[in-house]
Amino acid sequence: MIEWLGIGHLLELSGTEAVLGFLTPLLVFIFFFLAQLILPGRWVPGYVIDPETGEPRKYRLNGLLVFVIALAVWAFELTGMPRDWFYRSSLYAVAGGTVLTIVFTILAVFTQPEGKVKNRFLAWWFGRAQELQFFNHRFDVKMWFYVVGGTMLSLNALSGAVYHYELFGEDANPGVFVYAGFFTFYVLDYFIFERVQLYTYDLIHENVGFKLFWGGLIVYGWMFILPLWGMAAVPSPGFSPAATNIWLIGSVAMFLFGWGISRGANLQKYTFKRWPDRTFLGIEPQVIEAGDRRILCSGFWGVARHFNYLGEGFLGLSIALIFGHFTNFWAWTYFIFVVSMFTYRQRDDDAHCAQKYGPEKWAEYQARVKYRIIPGLY
């Protein structure tokens, strides 16, 4: 089965290495916990209101610095860990990380007062507290998830590229290196605009339960590179030089197009939330007033209600294409995941927003901006 799936190379560790692989997430979690706590950061007010104070929550952001330092530690092998280790230990790390996040979640949920959800399994899955902050707000669990998850995504992709190069040398697939570049760029961009994250779904709607613990740390950090589990063991597709240029340049252009949509939409919403009357890239904010809240319905938010998810869809498609093995199922796994997740998430967010802005005002927005994600289609 494993051989048929083409991931036998991920099960080649010795007994000792397997134990180390299982423990790798624990070491990573501790490293990031200390780095985030100790390294300098900037304090910013967030978007979500702290129910205890009635004021916006405070956050201490230093993701970019932590990311750069982690990248250097990995690249120069400062801990003695080989650069391909994260990739080679992927399956063991996912197993160990899953066990750890199950335990963490039990502690994070059942130390909190019982909320509306009485069923203990559902409480464990979705969480009870909206936020967990320690050391006088210095350490925020959700931002820790994203610093660990984002950085590990980039390091796992880079580690897979190193493994691929060591395996194939001259026959290596250039698409694998571009793929690692995609995610490193994606994560770098994310940390540059780290404050924008404070205005997104996870911070606003999610509680700290297993879904977010596992999703933020293990799925985002280790499993987003799922296509690479299969594709790092496959050599170059061997296209002619002209076809290689078309394939690589076309995929990179699609990636940048998707990123432009996603980043543009997120920044427009962020600008609107912080400075409601400010123009963004020449786009005047047009709004529907809903009591003391305002629904943005111009620019990116005027063509579809979640145009940012379409951007992510293009990113997913470019990732499927960048390997050049267009009929290999592994290449498509990330695309299938993002399309499923965002189809669900858009509907869920629509329902939340209808409740928050009032069904009538949200229906007015739906009538004005008809499409959910893809203008003219869906």
Stretch in the footprint of ligand NDP (CB under 6 A) among 33-41, 65-73, 136-144, 201-209: 201-209
Q: Quickly count: other Cβ atoms within 10 Å of residue 89's Cβ.
A: 25
> How far out from the chain centre does Cα 342 lie?
12
Give the Cα-Cα-Cα angle 269, 275, 281 (nearest 5 degrees).
60
Distance CA 130, CA 149 (A): 19
Judged by CB under 6 A, does residue 301 bind ligand NDP?
Answer: yes
Judged by CB under 6 A, does residue 309 bind ligand NDP?
Answer: yes
What are the DSSP E strand ranges found in the chain?
42-49, 56-61, 133-134, 139-140, 287-290, 293-296
Judged by CB under 6 A, does residue 251 bind ligand NDP?
Answer: no
Residues 143, 152 contacting (CB under 8 angstroms): no
Q: How far is the CB of 202 from ligand NDP (least distance, A)?
A: 6
Helix axes 329-357 and 307-321, enclosed angle (nearest 10): 170
Stretch in the footprint of ligand NDP (CB under 6 A) among 140-148, 157-165, 175-183, 300-308: 300-308
Judged by CB under 6 A, does residue 312 bind ligand NDP?
Answer: yes
Q: How far is the CB of 310 from ligand NDP (least distance, A)?
A: 9
DSSP annotation of 285: P
Residue 39's alpha-carbon distances to 31, 44, 216, in angstroms, are 12, 16, 22
DSSP secondary structure string for all residues of 93-115: HHHHHHHHHHHHHHHHHHTSPP-
Judged by CB under 6 A, does residue 349 bind ligand NDP?
Answer: yes
Residues 288, 294 contacting (CB under 8 angstroms): yes
> How far out from the chain centre does Cα 99 lie?
21
Q: How far is the CB of 174 from ligand NDP (least distance, A)?
A: 23
Tokens 């967010």 correspond to 349
- Count the site residues for ligand NDP by CB under 6 A: 21
Stretch in the footprint of ligand NDP (CB under 6 A) among 133-141, 152-160, 200-208, 325-333: 200-208
3-state class (DSSP) for residue 216:
helix
Q: Which is nearer to ligand NDP, 159 or 266 (CB)?
A: 266
Residues 293, 358 contacting (CB under 8 angstroms): no
Judged by CB under 6 A, does residue 296 bind ligand NDP?
Answer: yes
Distance CA 148, CA 145 (A): 5
Stretch in the footprint of ligand NDP (CB under 6 A) among 148-156, 196-204, 250-258, 318-326: 196-204
Q: How far is the CB of 366 from ligand NDP (least distance, A)?
A: 10
Q: Which is nearer to ligand NDP, 184 or 262 (CB)?
A: 262
Q: Which is nearer to ligand NDP, 35 or 94 (CB)?
A: 94
User: Among residues 28, 223, 232, 295, which is the contact residue for ligand NDP, using CB under 6 A?
Assistant: 295
Judged by CB under 6 A, does residue 256 bind ligand NDP?
Answer: no
Residues 60, 42 contacting (CB under 8 angstroms): yes
User: Among residues 356, 358, 364, 375, which is the contact residue for ligand NDP, using CB under 6 A?
Assistant: 356
Judged by CB under 6 A, does residue 368 bind ligand NDP?
Answer: no
Judged by CB under 6 A, does residue 131 bind ligand NDP?
Answer: no
Judged by CB under 6 A, does residue 255 bind ligand NDP?
Answer: no
Residues 156, 97 contacting (CB under 8 angstroms): no
Distance CA 237, CA 228 (A): 15
CA gyration radius for the chain? 21
Judged by CB under 6 A, does residue 195 bind ligand NDP?
Answer: no
Judged by CB under 6 A, does residue 345 bind ligand NDP?
Answer: yes
Q: Which is nearer to ligand NDP, 200 or 343 (CB)?
A: 200
Stretch in the footprint of ligand NDP (CB under 6 A) among 8-16, 74-82, 171-179, 198-206: 198-206
User: Among residues 17, 44, 139, 200, which is the contact residue for ligand NDP, using CB under 6 A?
Assistant: 200
Residues lying near ligand NDP in the complex (CB under 6 A) are found at: 200-202, 204, 262, 266, 269, 295-297, 301, 306, 308-309, 312, 338, 345, 349, 352-353, 356
